[in-house]
Amino acid sequence: MSTPAVLLGVDIVAADRLAKAAERGGETFDRVMGGGGPTFSVKESFIKAVGGRPPGFTWHDFQETGNAPSGWAGRLLDEAAAELITSTGLALPGRAVFTVSGASRKAALVRLPPHEGLVSGAARWGHGSGLFVSLAIVFVRRKGNQ
């Protein structure tokens, strides 16, 4: 079995900057982001993982579907998170699994080797010291592999 290919993205943003964006975006920001700052930062880390906002992008390209990644994806995410925790000094207690759809799914498939399966994502995040920090991975979940 070959090693799965993974895309990685990190977002570190000042909390006051997110507060200003929420003020400017108002109801639209709240409706699209739901969870506020952490959600925005997590979705930004996914955008970085897939290589930017492709034509046709929407914030709904990344939707949370579960609590924690399992198998190799969970181990990889935890290993990468350990390095980010060390470098920022912040815990990353938030964790979830995401679907990657729409234009972002297409962008991810351009960067990943050809595989059949569901394009998935997993993220860890946390905040403190005036920062939001998030880490995301994007991968193809093949049947029988998690």
**Do the domain assignments include residue 56?**
yes
Structural domain contains residue 41: yes
Q: What pLDDT was estimated at residue 34? A: 54
User: DSSP for 15-81?
Assistant: HHHHHHHHHHHHHHHHHHHSS-HHHHHHHHHHHHHHTS--TT--GGGEEEEES---HHHHHHHHHHH
User: Which tokens belong to 143?
Assistant: 């049947």
Using alpha carbons, select from 53, 73, 58, 89 the residue that is nearest to residue 6: 73
**What's the rounded Cα separation, in Å, for the pair 122 and 129?**
24
Whole-number pLDDT of residue 1: 46
Q: Identify the pLDDT of residue 101.
A: 94
pLDDT at 79: 95
In sequence order, which residues have a C-beta less than 8 Å from that of residue 99 and are 6 or more positions away? 62, 63, 65, 118, 119, 120, 121
Reported pTM? 0.85
Place of tokens 């679907």: 99
Q: Is residue 146 part of a domain?
A: no
Q: What is the CA radius of gyration of the chain?
A: 15
Q: What is the CATH number of the domain that holds 26?
A: 3.90.470.20
Query: Considering the domain boundaries, does residue 1 fall inside one?
Result: no
pLDDT value of position 146 = 47
Q: What is the residue-wise DSSP string for 79-121? A: HHHHHHHHHH-----EEEEEEE-HHHHHHHHHHSPP--SEEEE
Domain span at residue 82? 6-141
Q: What does each of the 146 residues of the chain score in pLDDT, given as a tens digit?
A: 455 689 999 999 888 887 777 677 655 555 555 555 568 888 999 999 999 999 999 988 999 898 788 888 899 999 999 999 999 999 999 999 999 999 999 999 988 877 667 899 999 999 889 888 999 999 987 655 44
The tally of domains found in the chain comes to 1
Phi, psi (degrees; rounded to nearest 5) at 132: -110, 135
Within a domain: 39: yes
* Residue 25 in domain: yes
Residue 124 lies in a domain: yes
Establish if 71 belongs to a structural domain: yes
